[in-house]
Amino acid sequence: MGPPLRPGPEDVAIAERMVDRARCHEGSESMRNALLGVTPELVGMNWPTGSRLLSVDRSRRMIREILPRRAAAPVTPICASWLDMPLVNDCLDCVIGDGCFTVLENVEMHRRLWHELHRVLRPGRFLVIRLFVQPPERESVSAVFDDLAAGLIGSFHVFKWRLAMALHDNLDEGVCVSDIWGHWASAGVNAESLATRLNWPIREVRTIEVYRGSPARYTFPTLEQARKVLAECFDELACHVPEYELGDRCPTLLLAARD
């Protein structure tokens, strides 16, 4: 997988700046941080000196295979759900995550995660989160395939995300991952020919096969929908929109937990 599905250099740089901003606000050389998941780019980023890092992921395999190779700071793994973390209230100074809300199946689960993050953060402390959001006006599936045929899409990962968002109906249902593959298969696009014509790695194009038969669902709120829910627990301090293709759908927010 690659950007924008995973954070690119610009996303990592802004995450580092936001975490450092949180450290400066704290005036402390020893912050207790938590990472939602084991995103390699975030595990290996430049954490402030003296940082203590927890990594929360429900997959023991991901913890075992990624953390030892990628960690740039001392890290303690916790195998648990983000919605029910085995942490006491008000114990963290900063939480960071990438695309976490997209893998939750509906808006009620979004709300549960916002409230759980608020619970574990000390009042006034910080959340750094990259979101995947719908544009205000959802584009059509045909428009996505038209741009693919015209060579107007820069990478296959961008195509996949645009197709997923075009198929997304509402936050109560999201989009079934297998439907993304189904529309790709129905379009009859030849993967090898596409890769050759657009100079894309064939391995990148074939990543869509992972979606085949998957029961998982993705959710993509608009930025305003996300803000409406997060405002129940957090104050927004900053929003960075990256400059890469589809960056307007991948903003990183810096938030402070309300007292």
* pLDDT recorded at residue 49: 82
Mean predicted lDDT score pLDDT of the chain: 92
Residue 68 has pLDDT above 80, yes or no: no
What's the pLDDT tens digit per position in 1-13? 778 989 999 999 9
* pLDDT recorded at residue 241: 96
What's the pLDDT tens digit per position in 88-115? 999 999 999 999 999 998 889 999 999 9
* pLDDT recorded at residue 72: 64
* pLDDT recorded at residue 144: 98
Which residue pairs from 10-14 have beta carbons closer than 8 angstroms and sit at least 24 positions apart in sequence?
10/242, 10/243, 10/244, 10/247, 11/41, 11/98, 11/130, 11/242, 11/250, 11/252, 12/41, 12/42, 12/45, 14/240, 14/242, 14/252
Residue 122 has pLDDT above 90, yes or no: yes
* pLDDT recorded at residue 75: 87
pTM given for the model: 0.92
The percent of residues in the chain predicted with pLDDT above 90, rounded, is: 80
CB 95 within 8 A of CB 117: yes
What's the pLDDT tens digit per position in 158-184? 999 999 999 998 888 899 999 999 999
